Structure 1
Amino acid sequence: MTTGSTDGRRHLGFSEQVISKIIDPVDLQSRLGSFPRVDPVVMCHGTFDLVHPGHLRHLAYAKSKGSILVVSITTDEHVTKANMRPYVPEELRALNLAALELVDFVVVDKDPNPISLICALQPDIFVKGYEYGTNIPPKTASEKQAVEAFGGRMLFSPGDFVLSSSAVIENDPPKIGLEKLLTLMQVEGINFADLYSAVQNLSGLSVTIIGDIIVDSITSTSVIGGYRKTPTPSVRVDGHQQFVGGAGIVAKHIAAAGARVNLISVIGDDELGRFALADLEAAGVTCNIQVVVDRPTTHKNAVVADGHRLVRIDTVENRTLDFEVLSAMQADLAMSSADAVVFSDFRHGIFNRVTVPDFMAAVPEGVFTVADSQVASRWGNILDFAGCDLITPNEQEVRFALGDQDSVIRPLGSALYDQAGCKILMLKVGARGMLTFRDSLANADRRSFFTVDALARDNIADPVGSGDALLAYATLTQVATKNEAISSIIGTIAAGLECEFEGNIPVTPDLVSKRLRELETASEFS
């Protein structure tokens, strides 16, 4: 472990004896002594994402060949073989191995391959899995050459038991979100008191939001029949609900958190526009909203039949707003006084490649800037907002921005982070949670990224809109604490809570604190 305290690790249920096995390579080198040794040192290396029976057989074989077993693991940033890998962060992977009686020492290798570590430790024996023994791959050949250069031997463990970590993770991933959360908190030096404090101290903040107001509605129906000649169901309307969405619900989340919020946007001269304006003002949102007579208020109506979404009917006007309207909005932005400015982009006439630079230039100097650009039904590009302090795209939006449908998600996120020139990238990956990037991989001074699993409960009603809750609470807590881990955790919790509501319902700090108490209670070992 390179950071954090042993007290934090003890909260995960591991003893001091286990923790002491995780050791710095330089310290380990002095403890092992020089090659050759009377008591042979055996070394294994790998990811060990999920320790399974195949790993145990491999390690037991290795231990049988010597007196001391050293296991090195690849650091998170160099694991790129599949999406959302490693599934278990390096600190927890190291602890899992150190907890095994047959393992004497564990090293987190910061290099992309173990060659330098092999040369430094000079193990008497280096053990690889049996699958590497036939048709030796180039990487294994390089390891073999490094071992044999000082007189060591490479052995291959028997192959009578095979089980893939990737297969387990893909088919039935274990629910270890809480353990991963506690590990992240330990490494970052934060505790639950820090999280509670972050949520309860947002009332002094001020946020300006500029973006598209959408009225989302749900028409609830029951299937009563259908035509025989076409696959067209006949439904009976049972009810209709309307909610303010888009930039409007982001504003309502921020207002519900207790912060002051100013919303700059447009609506049509219609009933839906008047509904949105009244709803926002009732929620405590200060509205700088222009009424544009020649375009409708954006409306997205989901028709739900017996609990299943049947179709969505959109009333939209996506052409760019007139110059006069855009100029007035930019003037309002330039005159705003806020701790943060959020660009909530749904590509319905406000933002495009031409207008985004003008809006960004209008932000008062020194204000924290945030951008969320959605491409669910439009062609927004998060890279249009390059230079913002925080961006919050999902995987589809990242792939679209980079024109890359093939790369696994972690290097994809690193590439976007570098191109966007942002300070923080929170990459949303749906039910799998989020990856937060806060530095370039080229900077080895600190962990450049970390993951937060989805912290939602099982009672999911509607995942649509969870990203808006994350955007609101991550923005507020990042401004309040200037801590990427805290803002990522709180944002993820808010997103999970929003999933429990049908429609756009603001998440309150009390709900977030209640969920934190549940997680804290579940984390207590007795």
Structure 2
Amino acid sequence: MASSLNDLYKHKIKTAEELREILGPYPREKKVIMCHGVFDVVHPGHVRHFIYAKSKADILVASLTADKHITKGKFRPHVPEDLRALNLAAFELIDYVLVDHEDKPLKNMAYLQPDFFAKGYEYVSGGLPQKTQEEADILSEYGGEMIFTPGDIVYSSSSLINLAPPSIKTEKLMTLMEKNELTFDGLRDALKKMAGLKVHVVGDTIVDSYTQTAMIGGQTKTPTMSVHYEGRTDYIGGAGVVAKHLRAAGADVTFTTVLGDDQFKNFVIDGLTEFGVECHAVIDRTRPTTNKNAIVAGGYRLLKIDTLDNNSINDEILTEITDRVAKTSCDALVYSDFRHGIFNKRTIPAFLKAVPENVFKVADSQVASRWGNITEFKGFDLITPNEREARFALADQDSGIRPLASSLYDASQCKTLILKLGDRGVLTCTNNEHEDSESFFVVDSFVDRVVDAVGSGDALLSYATLSMIATGSSVIATILGSMAAAAECEVDGNFPITPEDVLKQIDRAQRFVDFDHSGHGQD
């Protein structure tokens, strides 16, 4: 990656200890004024605030609240703390920037003892709020002074973000990659390392069918639609398409599943075998192969007909599958749970016990409209639920995304959590030190135009899994997984994503970054 303009400003971002050494003790010859806020979006009101503050002292210190203490809205902050700090450091009139890891600025105020602390006019126009009084009390203890900047116009960052969230996905990506010393060539190298890795996928196969029709009309006496049958197309879905994604990425894939003794049995086995997946299907004559048939007319889904049996597999089948799990040599084991009989409270303990030693363990529980809980797969190396599945697992519909991810990480006892947030991208949690900002990072969606989001989670899971085995980097895994998901979203249907598809995403992201470095901005 080319040298970033960010390097010009990083020297202004300091710790509290560094600032105390630079500023010296109070009273001092050069006056210091301090501002504090979230600064999720720096708007004209903030600029006026900074200009007025700098006019009152020699040195302006801008302090910002760390990500972990921001609770405005489920998806805030919109801009991560590292990038918010760089945004402030880029202002010429701001001398130093401090990321405050406390929930209030009181501790750093007492530690640094600025001559002045600047507040916006809105904090005094209706009487002094309790929090502002606490700040004033700290200042009075050593002789500092509170200054209120003029504010005939008050701007709200929250209002601006809710009105039109700024598109800063390139800036976020650049900041994350630079922080972890990653390059685009490094991402390309990671793709090459995936070839030949051995993965065992165990899970529910779904045959997804699309029956195309044309609307004829309806009955006059009853509310019955009439359509003309035009054709039907069947696709291998569920855990089967996860196996295909992994194979398309270059892995050697073994797939173990349960199928019925029906027309779809050979369709699944032959289709996977032709694709290069080693398929081991246990045939259960008491249940059908799961089939979900969408009736489509004029591009609209009129109806979906499900043929399935969600009852648990019997003990004989459970033993046959767990024996295969225990005996199959692989680099990674993926439990792909769609709650169609293989995984449930009765069987999961046996599946956990069967996992071979020193195997990278991955779980994905796509519950949709059924009962399922990702936290039942405890102690796994990687889990990739979406927000709805996380809230379902924790019975939590209210928490913000970071607290939700923290709770799920702890409940599942996993090593890496990639929480899928739809068009907002993903949030990754890598350790249980949730008060530490290093525990989380966000990667925005790389999708330019959504054609069909079906299967994007399967693509993410596959490329994230192989990336983790190949590199051990959760950052690379999240970026490449997100790029694979974007490639899937931009095609119609759940088609296996190839390394060439991901390389196109890498090339596109690099073009955006290089464009920014050329001195131009994005629209």
Normalised TM-score (structure 2): 0.94
The alpha carbon displacement at 1:87 in A equals: 1.0
The alpha carbon displacement at 1:159 in A equals: 3.0
Structural mapping, 1:25-40, within 5 Å: 25-40=16-31
Contact between 2:68 and 2:435, CA under 8 Å: does it hold in 1?
no
* Counterpart for residue 332 of structure 1: 324
Inter-partner Cα distance in structure 2 for 1:238 and 1:52: 56
* Counterpart for residue 49 of structure 1: 40
Contact between 1:342 and 1:370, CA under 8 Å: does it hold in 2?
yes
Secondary structure (helix, strand or coil) at the match of 1:262 reads strand
Q: Which amino acid aligns with 1:506?
A: P
Contact between 2:406 and 2:434, CA under 8 Å: does it hold in 1?
no
Secondary structure (helix, strand or coil) at the match of 2:486 reads helix
Structural mapping, 1:461-500, within 5 Å: 461-500=451-490
2:307 is aligned with 1:307: no
* Counterpart for residue 521 of structure 2: none
* Counterpart for residue 507 of structure 1: 497
Inter-partner Cα distance in structure 1 for 2:423 and 2:223: 32
Aligned counterpart in structure 2 of residue 290 of structure 1, from 255, 270, 282: 282
Structural mapping, 1:248-287, within 5 Å: 248-287=240-279
The alpha carbon displacement at 1:232 in A equals: 5.0
The alpha carbon displacement at 1:219 in A equals: 2.3
Contact between 2:294 and 2:301, CA under 8 Å: does it hold in 1?
yes
Contact between 1:77 and 1:441, CA under 8 Å: does it hold in 2?
no
Aligned CA distance change for structure 1 residues 358 and 56 (closer, same or farther; 3 Å): same
Aligned CA distance change for structure 1 residues 174 and 224 (closer, same or farther; 3 Å): farther
Q: Which amino acid aligns with 1:87?
A: H
The alpha carbon displacement at 1:390 in A equals: 0.8
Contact between 1:216 and 1:242, CA under 8 Å: does it hold in 2?
yes
Secondary structure (helix, strand or coil) at the match of 1:20 reads helix
Q: Which amino acid aligns with 1:288?
A: H
**1:299-339 deviation digits (Å, cap 9, x = unpaired):** 11223332233332211110001110111001110101111
* Counterpart for residue 447 of structure 1: 438
Inter-partner Cα distance in structure 2 for 1:423 and 1:281: 33
Structure 1: 5+ residue stretches without partners: 1-6
**1:418-471 deviation digits (Å, cap 9, x = unpaired):** 121110010000000000000113574x7001000011122x221011101111
Aligned counterpart in structure 2 of residue 203 of structure 1, from 179, 192, 195: 195
Inter-partner Cα distance in structure 2 for 1:170 and 1:411: 21
The alpha carbon displacement at 1:225 in A equals: 2.9
496-505 or 159-168: which moved more? 159-168
> Percent identity among equivalent residues?
51
95-104 or 357-366: which moved more? 95-104
The alpha carbon displacement at 1:271 in A equals: 1.1
* Counterpart for residue 521 of structure 1: 511
Aligned counterpart in structure 1 of residue 85 of structure 2, from 90, 94, 97: 94
Inter-partner Cα distance in structure 2 for 1:95 and 1:467: 32
Secondary structure (helix, strand or coil) at the match of 1:219 reads strand
Inter-partner Cα distance in structure 2 for 1:203 and 1:371: 21
Secondary structure (helix, strand or coil) at the match of 1:447 reads helix
* Counterpart for residue 76 of structure 2: 85
The alpha carbon displacement at 1:108 in A equals: 1.4
Aligned CA distance change for structure 1 residues 298 and 176 (closer, same or farther; 3 Å): same
376-385 or 169-178: which moved more? 169-178
399-408 or 127-136: which moved more? 127-136
* Counterpart for residue 395 of structure 1: 387
Contact between 2:122 and 2:154, CA under 8 Å: does it hold in 1?
no
Structural mapping, 1:64-143, within 5 Å: 64-133=55-124, 134-143=126-135
Inter-partner Cα distance in structure 2 for 1:361 and 1:138: 55
2:170 is aligned with 1:178: yes
Q: Which amino acid aligns with 1:348?
A: H
Aligned CA distance change for structure 1 residues 220 and 51 (closer, same or farther; 3 Å): farther
Contact between 2:333 and 2:359, CA under 8 Å: does it hold in 1?
yes
Structural mapping, 1:154-193, within 5 Å: 154-193=146-185
**1:57-109 deviation digits (Å, cap 9, x = unpaired):** 22222222222111011222222322222111111111111111221111112
Aligned CA distance change for structure 1 residues 136 and 322 (closer, same or farther; 3 Å): farther
* Counterpart for residue 378 of structure 1: 370
Normalised TM-score (structure 1): 0.94
The alpha carbon displacement at 1:160 in A equals: 1.9
The alpha carbon displacement at 1:230 in A equals: 6.1
Spell out structure 1 runs of 4+ moving beyond 6 A. none
2:44 is aligned with 1:61: no
The alpha carbon displacement at 1:124 in A equals: 1.0
152-161 or 133-142: which moved more? 133-142
Aligned CA distance change for structure 1 residues 395 and 228 (closer, same or farther; 3 Å): farther
The alpha carbon displacement at 1:260 in A equals: 0.7
Aligned CA distance change for structure 1 residues 304 and 440 (closer, same or farther; 3 Å): same
Aligned counterpart in structure 1 of residue 310 of structure 2, from 318, 327, 346: 318
2:418 is aligned with 1:426: yes
Aligned CA distance change for structure 1 residues 441 and 310 (closer, same or farther; 3 Å): farther
The alpha carbon displacement at 1:251 in A equals: 0.2
Q: Which amino acid aligns with 2:295?
A: V
* Counterpart for residue 406 of structure 2: 414
Contact between 1:288 and 1:332, CA under 8 Å: does it hold in 2?
no
Structure 2: 5+ residue stretches without partners: 519-523
* Counterpart for residue 4 of structure 1: none
When the two structures are aligned, how many residues end up with a matched partner? 515
